[in-house]
């Protein structure tokens, strides 16, 4: 059975991603910021549908936790062929109100964690492995009130092509700009996970996705 790790996989878009991957035949490691009830409920729902899933908690702002997440997912569901970097942190800040701690936390979750997870994933990946970075619209159209988040998302967008070049041909790396409907985003991720001739591209899954307000580690 193929296996995938979905960061921020407990609710909303992450939940749709986990369910779509399960329905496509993947065992799913559901990352959550901590041992959340939503993640456990999703794991149990997949199990009732005769699928395989596990919850792997980790604080993505903690580099030590990030370095162990791929290994934890492998222990839970087996060798991974797909990494979906979906977890994000929205904390409103704007120029004039920037704070170093919040700035560093945004970059840790939204950029540093996906890059180091990609590195660890590539080291264990076999043939036809894939990474999909899920971005929000801020990666393409900056939103001033979320300065540090948008800057990190923009950097992750650029890093997608960099990673595609660096990890080719063993690992394909693509990105999806999230749609308003979680199911549309999930369909795009499933497609890219199996598109063996596609790497270094960004798909816009559907209508624009703007942060409705502050949210952390979704």
d(CA 133, CA 141): 17
Q: pLDDT tens for residues 5-43?
A: 999 999 999 999 999 999 999 999 999 987 678 999 999
Pick the closest to residue 104 from 148, 142, 60, 135 (CA basis). Answer: 148
HSE-CB for 114 with a 13 A CA cutoff: 33
Beta bridge partners of 133: 85, 175
| Residue 110: per-residue pLDDT | 96
Partners of 4 in the beta sheet? 28, 82
pTM: 0.92
Q: Per-residue confidence at 127, pLDDT binned at 50, 70, 90?
A: confident
How much is the average pLDDT of 113-138?
94
Q: How far apart are CA 139 and CA 155, in angstroms?
A: 8
For the chain, the maximum distance between any two Cα atoms, rounded to a whole number of angstroms, is 52
Average of pLDDT values for 132-153? Answer: 87
Report the pLDDT averaged over residues 153-170.
96
Q: What is the pLDDT of residue 135?
A: 95
Q: Above 50 in pLDDT, residue 184?
A: yes
Q: Which two tokens stand for residue 198?
A: 């596609």
Give the containing element (helix H, strand E) for 163.
helix 147-167
Is a pLDDT exceeding 50 seen at residue 91?
yes
For position 145, what pLDDT does the model report? 83
Please work out, in degrees rounded to the nearest 5, the angle formed at the alpha carbon of residue 64 by the alpha carbons of 175 and 43: 60
pLDDT at 126: 85
CA distance 209 to 179: 6
List the chain domain ranges: 2-204
What residues form DSSP beta bridges with 98? none
Between 34-38, 57-61, 152-156, the lowest mean confidence (pLDDT) is in 34-38
Segment 50-62 shows an average pLDDT of 97
Confidence check: pLDDT of 211 > 50: no
pLDDT at 209: 39
Q: Is the pLDDT of residue 214 over 60?
A: no
DSSP letter, residue 109:
I
Task: Give the percent of the chain with pLDDT over 70.
Answer: 94
Helix (H, G, I), strand (E, B) or coil at 168: coil
Q: What is the topology classification, in CATH, of domain 2-204?
A: Rossmann fold (3.40.50)
């Amino acid at each position: 059975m193929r296996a995938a790790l979905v960061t921020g996989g407990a609710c909303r878009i992450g939940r749709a991603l986990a369910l779509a991957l399960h329905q496509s035949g993947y065992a799913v490691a559901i990352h959550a910021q901590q041992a959340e009830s939503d993640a456990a409920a999703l794991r149990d729902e997949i199990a009732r549908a005769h699928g395989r899933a596990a919850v792997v908690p980790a604080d993505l702002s903690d580099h030590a936790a990030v370095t162990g997440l791929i290994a934890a997912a492998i222990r839970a569901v087996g060798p991974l062929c797909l990494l979906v970097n979906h977890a994000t942190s929205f904390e409103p800040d704007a120029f004039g109100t920037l704070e170093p701690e919040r700035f560093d936390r945004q970059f840790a979750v939204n950029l540093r964690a996906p890059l180091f997870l990609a590195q660890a994933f590539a080291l264990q990946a076999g043939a036809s492995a894939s990474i999909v970075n899920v971005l929000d619209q801020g990666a393409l159209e900056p939103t001033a009130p979320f300065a540090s988040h948008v800057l990190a998302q923009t950097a992750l967008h650029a890093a997608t092509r960099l990673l595609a070049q660096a990890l080719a041909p063993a690992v394909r790396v693509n990105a999806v700009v999230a749609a308003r409907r979680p199911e549309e985003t999930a369909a795009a991720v499933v497609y890219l996970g199996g598109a063996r001739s596609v790497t270094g591209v960004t798909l816009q899954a559907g209508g624009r996705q703007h942060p409705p307000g502050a949210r952390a580690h979704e």
